[in-house]
Amino acid sequence: MSDAGDDDIPQLSSHTLAALQEFYAEQNQHTDPCGEDKYNIGIIEENWQLSQFWYSQETALRLAQEAVDAAGEGGRIACVSAPSVYQKLRALHREHVSVYIFEFDKRFAMYGEEFIFYDYNHPLDLPEKVTAHSFDIVVADPPYLSEECLRKTSKTIKYLTRGKILLCTGATMEEQAAQLLGVRVCRFIPEHTRNLANEFRCYANYDSGLDCGT
Ligand SMILES: C[S@@+](CC[C@H](N)C(=O)[O-])C[C@H]1O[C@@H](n2cnc3c(N)ncnc32)[C@H](O)[C@@H]1O
């Protein structure tokens, strides 16, 4: 038995309702910090006291693509003090590679199991699950432009990598980077979301795609 008022209430079919629910679930994912948005560069604000200067979207994308190409299908990538590259890799290449973020800033612990707390002052103080030479490529951007910081970070890089190294640091560090890691400067110039006083460069110890074009 239906009352007369029911005819005035618009009814949605179960199919339409399901589609609507799917739409709202997807909308939530885009605004929910636990959804895909959590991999956006900038979701964690720069803290200059930690020497945090995020790459531009284009640079993070280019470095992430280079890391994937170098690591190969199913490869393992370590991002050492380079959270934007980690974020880009997780946002775009989830199925193709495994990625870990080695970071001092515990706000990045929001990435769960893939976050490894790392302080360059204790280069080999890493959890047991991080075994020697277990990454196809290490992408690193040490926090300070000093010989000491690069030397200590290099210890971590050499411990982690199976061979390939992609380093981003100041142009002034070229000679020391060559001595410590056997890397040479690439043609590609990394850019940041803000203009920095120091010039930055990328360095690699293999024939990288960063030598082609700009
Ligand atoms: C120059 S920024 C490089 C960030 C890179 N441009 C990016 O966008 O991913 C240096 C990084 O080192 C991290 N850092 C700061 N202090 C550190 C420490 N004691 N040990 C290791 N990493 C540290 C910062 O949190 C930051 O992510």
pLDDT exceeds 60 at position 23: no
Sorted by where each begins, the domain ranges of the chain are 12-41, 47-211
Amino acid at 161: T
pLDDT exceeds 80 at position 90: yes
pLDDT at residue 179 in the model: 98
Of residues 102 and 197, more confidence is placed in 102
80: pLDDT confidence band, cut at 50, 70 and 90? Answer: very high
How many Å lie between the centroid of ligand 1 and the Cα of residue 93?
22
Residue nearest to atom 1 of ligand 1 (CA): 143
pLDDT exceeds 70 at position 86: yes
CA 210 to chain centre: 17
pLDDT digit string, tens, across residues 119-159: 999 999 999 999 999 999 999 999 999 999 999 999 999 99
How many Å lie between the centroid of ligand 1 and the Cα of residue 141?
7
Does the beta carbon of 159 sit less than 6 angstroms from any atom of ligand 1?
no
pLDDT exceeds 90 at position 31: no
CA distance linking residue 155 with residue 124, whole number of Å: 7
pLDDT at residue 196 in the model: 86
Helix (H) or strand (E) holding 12: none
pLDDT at residue 1 in the model: 37
Instruction: Please state which architecture CATH assigns to domain 47-211.
Output: 3-Layer(aba) Sandwich (3.40)
Span 26-43, average pLDDT: 64
Residue 102 near residue 77 (C-beta atoms within 8 A): no
Relative to the CA of 41, which ligand 1 atom is closest? Answer: 8
- CA dist 137 to 46, 81, 121, 149, Å? 25, 14, 22, 20
How many Å lie between the centroid of ligand 1 and the Cα of residue 69?
24
pLDDT exceeds 70 at position 95: yes
89: left (phi over 0), alpha (psi -120 to 50) or beta: alpha
Does the beta carbon of 174 sit less than 6 angstroms from any atom of ligand 1?
no
| DSSP β-ladder status, 115-117 and 98-103 | parallel
CA distance linking residue 69 with residue 40, whole number of Å: 21
Average pLDDT, the chain: 87
Residue nearest to atom 6 of ligand 1 (CA): 54
Residue 71 near residue 136 (C-beta atoms within 8 A): yes
How many Å is the maximal CA-CA distance in the chain? 87
pTM for this entry: 0.85
Which residue matches tokens 């239906």? 2
Top mutation candidate among 51, 66, 154, 193 for ligand 1, by most atoms within 8 Å of CB: 51
Span 41-60, average pLDDT: 93
Does the beta carbon of 86 sit less than 6 angstroms from any atom of ligand 1?
no
pLDDT at residue 94 in the model: 77
pLDDT at residue 146 in the model: 97
